[in-house]
Amino acid sequence: MKKQAKIFLMALLVLTPEQKELFTTPEGWPPPIYNFSNNKLIPEKIRLGRFLFYDPILSENNSISCANCHSPYNAFAHSDHQLSHGIKDQIGDRNAPILINLAWHSSFMMDGAIHNLDVQALAPITHPKEMGSSINEVVRKLNQPIEYKEMFLQAYGDTLITGERILKAISQFLLTLNSYNSYYDKVTMTHDAVFKPNEENGYNLFKKYCNSCHTEPLFTNNSFETNGLSVDVTLKDYGRMRITKNAKDSLKFKVPTLRNLQFTSPYMHDGRFRTLNQVLDHYIIKQNIPLTLTEKQDIISFLMTLTDWKFIGDTSHLDPIRIRFIDTNKVSKHHK
């Protein structure tokens, strides 16, 4: 008996540090902006949020889940699609952004319309060109299957389903989507690797021309900037000005992170550039950056080191329903 108790205690000790690592701030990173004290991470809530994230029940006709435009296989971005997709084959108004390191964001949406991660999901759930539903409708539907009642019980201690609980659970899952194990991180943080000469040269050019907005280590400074793009006449999206109603903010959009950008093409808020070459050409012309063809290629080589292969395909982020059919040993471990 005594021995069993001892083993139990040891198991507890071993488990406790693991609990703390539901969220980690990597060394050298700024402290997260998200207020965890209002929504303390626990595995049961993360699990609930994960089910919700992958469940098309969130959309009006049960056809679209968050993962439709934020795919775990593409670092939670929407590769190859200029604009987001919604119910009934509708096309949205903006390029779906990558969902990583969200605890470090001071605002959400390309115009900063949303100030807190916990209320962000309301926008796609409600938008008629995205999920076309409402939080009330989601509450009503989630009250039907017994499985969700059980998950809410595990997460919150009772089976009550509210808007607040749904949204906070989705936040919990999103807060586990953190990417900081790229080749770049191995070189600069853990010093387990070195850049190739072309990557090194690209990194130096990056620091010279790009880092003021795409600031390390998050590769965004969270600000709104105009980068010389003219307005798309079919979308008439003036960005930040819609929120502030200040003409100074016309055509300003939130600076996106560049981490995992290999998966986030096409680029810009309206997905107008298909390749990084086109993006760099835009900056070379609009901001008068003198780059040779080789230098341009070196910057792209450097940007490719921002891909986090440990993050992409991480089974703890995949669809919890489909995961049963995936042999964890066979998930491809790509490396450049």
Task: Name the site residues for other proteins (rule: CB under 8 A).
Answer: 35, 38-39, 109, 113-119, 122-123, 125-127, 135-136, 139, 162-164, 167-168, 243, 245
Cα–Cα distance, 305 to 195 (Å, whole number): 9
> Quick one: 24 or 162, whose CB is closer to other proteins?
162
Cα–Cα distance, 235 to 129 (Å, whole number): 13
- The SS3 of residue 244 is helix
Residues whose CB falls within 8 Å of the CB of residue 32, separated by 6 or more in sequence, listed in order: 23, 25, 103, 104
> Quick one: 71 or 84, whose CB is closer to other proteins?
84
Least CB distance to other proteins at residue 118 (A): 4
> Quick one: 169 or 279, whose CB is closer to other proteins?
169
- The SS3 of residue 252 is strand
Least CB distance to other proteins at residue 299 (A): 35
Residue 69: name the closest of 83, 49, 88, 90 by CA: 83
Least CB distance to other proteins at residue 166 (A): 9
Length of the chain in residues, anyone? Answer: 336
What element of type H or E holds 301?
Answer: helix 293-304
> Quick one: 149 or 242, whose CB is closer to other proteins?
242
> Quick one: 240 or 317, whose CB is closer to other proteins?
240
Least CB distance to other proteins at residue 304 (A): 35
| Backbone φ/ψ region at 15: left (φ over 0), alpha (ψ -120 to 50), beta | alpha
Least CB distance to other proteins at residue 35 (A): 7
CB distance 60 to 88 below 8 Å: no
CB distance 218 to 29 below 8 Å: yes
> Quick one: 127 or 282, whose CB is closer to other proteins?
127
Least CB distance to other proteins at residue 162 (A): 5
Cα–Cα distance, 232 to 215 (Å, whole number): 27
